[in-house]
Amino acid sequence: MTQLTSRRRFRLQRRSLVAGLGGLAALGPIRLARAAGNPKVVVIGAGVAGLSASKTLSAEGVDHVVIEASERIGGRIYTESTTFGTPCDVGAHWLHNGETNPLVPFARRSGIDVYEAGEVEGLFAGGKWLEGDAEEEIWDEVDDAESAINRAVDRDRDVSLRSVMDSDTSPLAAFLVGAYEHAASVGSLSTIDWDRQEEGTDMFHDGALGSLAAAWGAEVPVQFNTAATRVDWSSRGVKVQTSSGTIEADAVIVTVPTSVLAKGAIKFGPDLPQETARAISDLPLGSYNHIVLQMTGNLFEVEEDTMLCYAGNGGTAGLLVNAGGSGLTYFDVAGDFGAKLTRQGEGAMVEFARAALRDMLGAEGLTSLTKAKAFPWEANPLAGGAYTAARPGRARARERLKRPVADRLFFAGEATSISKPATLDGAIAEGARAARVAADEVT
């Protein structure tokens, strides 16, 4: 995800090279050690929201248990090192809202170099790099679209971005306004939800963000390979049925992605109140996936961490070239086009990236490509997509989802953040918020 609110494209600072986090040991499953008897709170999910909830509950002295369906912590933030022989962030890679993101000071304490991100420096469309007026035209279209959205918001109109934008806005400008940052195309984005998202400082790093988040959450005891299947809240407290038995508690904090909840992966008995169920379906996860390219040389002739955008072959993509000096380029597809391509499979995704490289760099581009792999999140049943975007007309869904149910069911995660949805720091803040409310109820 990127923040593209101004057309300034400059590199704000260079940095010294220090060792990244790729060398952090992979974290194996931690067995849960806790006192006998029922916990006060069950936290479902060990992504950053669940980890943050657990840290807060521990600080408040509330006995709790964290259950996680997979065998690792982090959820949608994850670093894998096997494919490319170097750490690759399969999910989140950017540190948004650097001013308030707790991972920023944690990274610095861990010896990771964190520095301000630049902005998009090159646009490729119609078979060439855009220059002069042609490039300015695209940025003018972006400005026009953002002004139109702001006017709609001023009149409290919660409609799709597309409905207020010029109908002849180019695919590249539409991508820059919508899918590149928000994972959904302009036809599926709410003006008010789009507008409420804070524009903090974006940061890059020369480490591996998934490993960083794993180190940040390593202190949290988690019961792995334990999927919640049903939450019974029919009488006092809750009974959480899992693949490893039932846990009784006073309250539950659910941090599972909304698209997973919408598919009924966890049943609730009785059914959730209509406003909560509706909020879950109004906050689907959009499509945003990395096709990671390992390349030799510097054919783009740019500095590391340079951002470029591509339109061609019927699609659009954003590139982060040589991320953190890793030699990996994140070629990102998103929104309607990205979702359609992703449904065609990893082979089609890689083929699209290869065709784009050929367009941008000629045949040499392909010879410099040593390895490519796509990481489709829609295919992951524990995620179901990248991150949430409220449907047009449904911007208030985030408020509805964060409302406690019967003072014992609490929902948290990036989806419940109003000003920082779709981000790590939004999810962390929401996990802590839900934990504080739950702690008040159970103590």
Give the binding site for ligand FAD (CB under 6 A). Answer: 1, 44-50, 67-70, 75-77, 91-94, 96, 227-228, 255-257, 260, 265-266, 288-290, 377, 382-383, 386-387, 413-414, 422-424, 427
Nearer to ligand FAD, 312 or 413 (CB): 413
Kindly state the smallest distance separating residue 160's Cβ from ligand FAD, in Å: 22
Nearer to ligand FAD, 158 or 430 (CB): 430
Kindly state the smallest distance separating residue 286's Cβ from ligand FAD, in Å: 9
The alpha carbon of 161 is separated from its chain's Cα centroid by a whole number of angstroms, namely: 21
Nearer to ligand FAD, 359 or 378 (CB): 378
Q: Is 47 helix (H, G, I), strand (E, B) or coil?
A: strand
Kindly state the smallest distance separating residue 395's Cβ from ligand FAD, in Å: 18
The H or E element containing residue 306 is strand 306-312
Kindly state the smallest distance separating residue 68's Cβ from ligand FAD, in Å: 5
CA distances from 242 to 36, 51, 229, 245 (A): 18, 19, 5, 5
Question: How many Cβ atoms from other residues are within 10 Å of residue 58's Cβ?
Answer: 15
- Quick check: 387 and 285 in contact, CB under 8 A? yes
Return phi, psi of residue 272, to 5°: -65, 150
Nearer to ligand FAD, 186 or 252 (CB): 252
Kindly state the smallest distance separating residue 409's Cβ from ligand FAD, in Å: 15
Kindly state the smallest distance separating residue 306's Cβ from ligand FAD, in Å: 16
Across 26-182, where does the E strand assignment appear? 41-44, 64-67, 79-80, 88-89, 114-116, 120-125, 128-129
Quote the Cα angle for 176-81-412, to 5°. 55
Parallel, antiparallel or unpaired: strands 41-44 and 64-67:
parallel
Nearer to ligand FAD, 69 or 361 (CB): 69
Q: Is 245 helix (H, G, I), strand (E, B) or coil?
A: strand
Crossing angle between the packed helical segments 209-216 and 48-59, to the nearest 10 degrees: 20
Nearer to ligand FAD, 50 or 324 (CB): 50
Nearer to ligand FAD, 49 or 311 (CB): 49
CA distance 81 to 293: 14
Kindly state the smallest distance separating residue 401's Cβ from ligand FAD, in Å: 12
Residue of 351, 353, 372 lying closest to 296 (CA atoms): 372
Nearer to ligand FAD, 62 or 228 (CB): 228
Kindly state the smallest distance separating residue 386's Cβ from ligand FAD, in Å: 4
